[in-house]
Homo-oligomer: A and B are copies of this chain.
Amino acid sequence: MSKSSTNLTIKDIAKLSGVSKSTVSRVINHDPMVKESTRNKVMAIVEQYQFTPSKSARAMRGYGNKVIGIIVTRLDSISENHAVQSMLPIFYANGYDPIIIESQFSAAKVAEHLMMLREKQADGIIVFAFTGLDSSLLTVWQHKCVVIARPFSAYSCICYDDIGAVNKALTYLYQSEKHKKIGFIGVDKQDQTTGGLRYQAYIDFCTAYKIQPNAVLGNLSYYSGYELAESVLVHSPTAIVCATDSIALGLNKFLSEKNINNIIVISIGSSELLNFLFSQTITVDLGFDKAGIYAANELLLMLEKQVNAKIITVPSQLLK
């Protein structure tokens, strides 16, 4: 009926409901100082015409755009994907428009994207950290920013339980299953968390329980797991812990090809694909989806009221 061709403005709504622009503005922004009757009157028109205030205009008034920037390292990272997918509904439910961008592990790109987000008057950001990303880039955003996967001091961070996850895996193998020869395939220590932390946890466990370490480090790809398999197997372990599910995929392929099926594989990180393809693999869930939920809620909290930075560690869970 009503021509909904071109978008209505606050002025039109004012005319239509017989009040002034300011009153309409007050109604929209839930100013308590408006008479019940006029509020209803205006709201009726607003509903009827499906009016929504121009975001650009509000942004210009310094209002914030109801925009959250989400900077992932790579769009095709399975773990980050899960985290993002679980935070999106939360942002939508609170009226925020999440905009996803890719850093490709480049600090320079992060800087670029942050500039863009500032221009767009984004209200807050979520950053998936990586080796080489410096917290100094984020200073401007300090109080409207949640960092994932690295514990930057003075920032709100969501971290994975790298150490606990490895310990859970090793405890299960050593205590419950009485394995004595446990190998480890990890990633280079230059990667502080997935690399350094998980490797160190393995080493620490070994020294604590007087196990002969048998570790080898590569990169994050499944090729790495495949290629490094042999150098761990040469010490004839009865179980092998993989620092990531990709590595576990590679290792499993190797074992499957060589028809080796008396070795237990435990993966830090539990992906649907790994569980499907190699269902005998034991996995430790790092809780990517929970991380997303934590991150989103924490950010919304920060935007609502001043809240001091905290570091949340997502609990891990052994799945057997």
Contact = CB atoms under 8 A, between A and B. Distances in A.
A100 B97 contact: no
Given A81-B75, A88-B102, A57 B55 contact: no
A276 B76 contact: no
Interface in A81-119: 81-82, 84-85, 88, 97-102, 115-116, 118-119
A44 interface: no
A156 interface: no
Contact of A120 (B81, B97, B222, B249): B97
Contacts of A226: 276
A76 B65 contact: no
A267 interface: no
A109 to B, nearest CB: 9
SS class, residues of chain A in contact with chain B: helix
Copies of the polypeptide in the assembly: 2
Contacts of A56: 56-57, 59-60, 65, 119-121
Nearest to A102: B88
Nearest to A55: B119
A52 interface: yes
A212 interface: no
Interface in A130-179: none
A80 B19 CA distance: 49
A250 B276 CA distance: 9
Interface in A241-276: 249-250, 253, 256, 273, 276
Contacts of A65: 56
Contacts of A34: none
B97 A116 contact: yes
Contacts of A116: 97
A277 interface: yes
A250 B116 CA distance: 42
Contacts of A40: none
Given A52-B119, A100-B101, 8 more contacts: A56-B57, A56-B60, A56-B119, A57-B60, A75-B100, A97-B120, A222-B273, A222-B276
* Chain A to chain B: the 5 pairs with minimum beta-carbon distance, closest first: A56-B59, A99-B99, A76-B81, A100-B100, A56-B60
8 contacts: A54-B119, A56-B59, A56-B120, A76-B78, A85-B102, A99-B100, A222-B273, A249-B277
